[in-house]
Structure 1
């Protein structure tokens, strides 16, 4: 099965896509990926199921397009003037996304383990987001906030953001408003000590 074609529909096609993807979000939030069906999505979206089958083919196609739609949003990483501030702001955005509609976020992540199409789309989305956020590390290096030499930007970003996903998704813990700043501070301290330098850390 191939992924849905990369296209940016307009007019009625765009409206149908928006209705269907809104329905997928609602279905995931209410019943998780286990209860997601083409028929249920079509009914909630108010479109004929043949329309959904023709464009998305199956549940995997719906999930893949939903994840791809997230990557179409015009988003830029925070620019606060410091590495710690940027990472804190980024973590605050992540925490909000995981707590405003937590059942949807968890369901979508779980779905990627059951759909090859969704898994591929999610990998592409993560790759794009990390690539976008590498500018945060580049700016910090330019300000002299990081040790001389190359810094593993991806490793630093993962270290700063991972605690949010661990607490919210894996542990299902209550939101901690202090966690974004605390996780960012820990990553900055590790980076300053050379943990993410090209040499793999200090001796």
Structure 2
């Protein structure tokens, strides 16, 4: 993990003060700067936790996604959709998992243009071990109790809805693809035409 900065002052609070003097109050500036810094801190923490398993948090998320799927396999396009990342990032992530023996790839029999990624037994073991470590470390959020974590999730949710991460209205009405019961929503079967070209 990066060495703590241990500054004698809060640089974001200082920037907020200077911003107010020059351009007027802008609470959104302090908020986004805090969120971006929190992202840096948390990503460094969780990457450090899963590094002994030759994982990054992105690769860990892909393993979890495959673990949650009904058959332990998903199309590359479905992985990208669920993790909300670019196809190139999915390819790089899965290829690293393949090299580590945690995932295998094969042509999608339902769509000759696509590829299926399948978690291996080793991948399941690594996923379970890494998950235990992350949960023991409270995913790097040990400074917050459970109620505060739920509040963070709730506070950030409108931003995600506005960005069209998902259809908030459909989910609220119970029309989501998994009824809100499954975290990643990947339990629907892979059918013909579901895979898109990578």
More strand by share: 2
Using the size of structure 2 for normalisation, the TM-score is: 0.24
> Larger % of helix: which?
1
